[in-house]
């Protein structure tokens, strides 16, 4: 299904779409208020951008430095070239430690690798513990947003899911009561987990520490109680120095949800006595993206989702309208690197308004990259035949002034027909403006009183 078709499905439920749009815009507005309250916001973005660019230019060095420091801290470091290897490594760690029950905090990387299904098929009980992720896990669906996984669902629907799976009373739809029910249910899982898996927000090369940010406290709850902690990170998560955390932590929560900081920013350095701590560093296409100068900067992303919240297309089409598990501008820049053919229409799910670039805390040129991907997609012959045909036609017309003149006159006359027939998606919901009485050329000729 194309993005446009999937968006059409989402748009069928008009009140939900309106709510989705309004709610994400509210998050964007909260971000604006917070950002404006920081006097050095722009220098901060500049610093973040340059630190990331520097890091990417010496990534292999920093990865090795991080590895050595983490190992010296007693952390076991693993390397995974792709999703399969990542999943195998996690399973091996679990099996070697006799772990059957795993609690997970939010990790987009494990979503990318489809870890849950793999572990479950191998007899591991996997419980997502972020509230939003738990809701979608119980529904057997993927998250629709990287920071707010269940943003597409209404309270009543969450109530139904909990009634079915957690045994809450039918019709319970109060957010506080539902959250309490989830807290109770998940606490049981935390207390009995054999292992905890977390993501990594930042990995510090100079001292081997890694930082995990949450509001709910689920990463801490899992990691501090279970005898085994596995932290999975994409190789772009490394930063050179601890002091750089000051830059990124100031930006992250403000950009993501408009909070001054996340409730927990936990710095893991060494395992606690008797605990095993593992870090899995994953490539899975990242080094390929790094090799492409036009798209390299996308690896600076800190997954705040500000670009999604501000995107007029994302807000009105929902996370499920995108063919990749990360939607919105950043998803549309990352996805074609994973599979250009499969995600060929994602770079087109944008108005190129540039709002994403304007809010991005690490200054990724998102809209420019979207445009570059469009060019790559067309070059690879992956754009739909009608678009290619239309472009060829356009090219043919624009090449000769005479053809242009003829086509202009023709267009003026047939515009009312285009509006009446409503054959293309644009005119299905709005009219093209009515054509002027004369062409620009005719007008100019008249003014100058003669030949051009």
Q: Which of residues 210-269 bind another protein (CB under 8 A)?
A: 215-218, 220-221, 223-225, 235, 240, 242-243, 245-247, 249-250, 253, 257, 259-269
Number of residues that bind another protein (CB under 8 A): 95
- Of residues 148 through 187, those in contact with another protein by CB under 8 A are 148-151, 153-155, 158, 175-176, 178-180, 183, 186-187
CB of 166 to ligand SF4, least distance (A): 31
- Of residues 245 through 304, those in contact with ligand SF4 by CB under 6 A are 255, 301-304
> Which range touches ligand SF4 (CB under 6 A), out of 163-171, 285-293, 354-362, 390-398?
354-362
User: What does 240 bind: ligand SF4, another protein, none (CB cut-off 5 to 8 Å by kind)?
Assistant: another protein
Residue placing its CB nearer to ligand SF4 in the complex, 347 or 361: 361
Residue placing its CB nearer to ligand SF4 in the complex, 29 or 420: 29
**23 touching another protein, by CB under 8 A:** yes
**270 touching another protein, by CB under 8 A:** yes
**361 touching ligand SF4, by CB under 6 A:** yes
Q: Mask of contacts with another protein, 381-420, x by CB under 8 A?
A: ----------------------------------------
Residue placing its CB nearer to ligand SF4 in the complex, 3 or 367: 367
Residue placing its CB nearer to ligand SF4 in the complex, 186 or 356: 356
> Which range touches another protein (CB under 8 A), out of 142-150, 365-373, 399-407, 428-436?
142-150
**63 touching another protein, by CB under 8 A:** yes
**363 touching another protein, by CB under 8 A:** no
User: What does 265 bind: ligand SF4, another protein, none (CB cut-off 5 to 8 Å by kind)?
Assistant: another protein
Assign 3-class secondary structure to the chain.
CCHHHHHHHHHCCHHHHHHHHHHHHHHHHHHHHHHHCCCCHHHHHHHHHHHHHHHHHCHHHHHHHHHHHHHHCCCEEEEECCHHHHHHHHHHHHHHCCCCEEEECCCHHHHHCCHHHHHHHCCCEEEECCHHHHHHHHCCCCCCCCCCCCCCCCHHHHHHHHHHHHCCCCCCCCHHHHHHHHHHHHHHHHHHCCEEEECCCEEECCCCCEEEEECCCHHHHHHHHCCEEEEEEEHHHEECCCHHHHHHHHHHHHHHHCCCCCCEEEEECCCCCCCEEEEEEECCCHHHHHCCCCCHHHHHCCCCCHHHHHCHHHHHHCHHHCCCCCCHHHHHHHHHHHCCCCCCCHHHCCCCCCHHHHHCCCCCCHHHHHHHHHHHHHHCCCCCHHHHHHHHHHHHHHHCHHHHHHHHHHHHHHHHHHHHHCCCHHHHHCCCCCCCCCCHHHHHHHHHCCCC
Residues in touch with ligand SF4 (CB under 6 A): 255, 301-307, 330, 359-362, 364, 366
């Amino acid at each position: 299904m194309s993005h446009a078709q999937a968006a059409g499905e989402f748009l069928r439920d008009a009140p939900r779409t309106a709510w989705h749009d309004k709610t994400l815009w509210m998050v964007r507005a909260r971000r604006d208020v917070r950002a404006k309250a920081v006097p050095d916001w722009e220098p901060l973005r500049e610093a973040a951008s340059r630190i990331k660019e520097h890091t990417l230019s010496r990534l292999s060095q920093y990865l090795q430095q991080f590895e050595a420091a983490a190992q010296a801290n007693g952390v076991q470091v693993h390397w995974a070239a792709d999703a399969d290897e990542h999943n195998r490594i996690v399973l091996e760690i679990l099996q070697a430690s006799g772990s059957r029950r795993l609690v997970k905090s939010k990790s987009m990387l494990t979503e990318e690798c489809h870890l849950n299904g793999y572990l479950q098929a191998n007899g591991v009980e996997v419980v997502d513990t972020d509230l939003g992720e738990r809701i979608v896990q119980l529904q057997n669906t993927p998250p629709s947003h990287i920071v707010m996984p269940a943003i597409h669902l209404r309270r009543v629907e969450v109530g139904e899911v909990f009634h079915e799976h957690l045994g809450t009373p039918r019709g319970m739809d109060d957010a506080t009561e539902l959250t309490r029910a989830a807290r109770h249910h998940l606490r049981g899982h935390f207390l009995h987990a054999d292992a905890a898996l977390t993501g990594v927000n930042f990995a510090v090369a100079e001292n081997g520490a890694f930082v995990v940010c949450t509001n709910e406290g689920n990463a801490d709850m899992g990691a501090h109680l279970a005898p085994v902690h596995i932290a999975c990170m994409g190789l772009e998560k490394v930063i050179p120095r601890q002091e750089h955390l000051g830059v990124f932590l100031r930006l992250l929560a403000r950009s993501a949800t408009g909070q001054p900081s996340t409730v927990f920013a936990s710095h893991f350095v060494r395992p606690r006595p008797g605990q095993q701590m593992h870090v899995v560093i994953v490539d899975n296409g990242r080094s390929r993206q790094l090799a492409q100068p036009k798209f390299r900067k996308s690896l600076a992303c800190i997954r705040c989702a500000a670009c999604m919240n501000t995107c007029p297309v994302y807000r009105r089409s929902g996370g499920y309208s995108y063919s990749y598990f990360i939607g919105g501008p950043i998803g549309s820049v990352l996805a074609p690197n994973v599979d250009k053919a499969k995600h060929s229409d994602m770079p087109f799910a944008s108005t190129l308004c540039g709002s994403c670039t304007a809010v991005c805390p690490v200054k990724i040129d998102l809209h420019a990259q979207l445009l570059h991907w469009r060019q790559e997609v067309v070059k690879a012959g992956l754009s739909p035949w009608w678009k290619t045909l239309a472009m060829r036609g356009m090219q043919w017309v624009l090449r000769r002034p005479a053809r242009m003149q003829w086509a202009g006159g023709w267009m003026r006359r047939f515009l009312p027909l285009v509006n009446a027939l409503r054959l293309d998606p644009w005119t299905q919901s709005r009219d093209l403006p009515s054509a002027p009485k004369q062409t620009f050329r005719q007008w100019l000729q008249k003014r100058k009183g003669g030949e051009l």
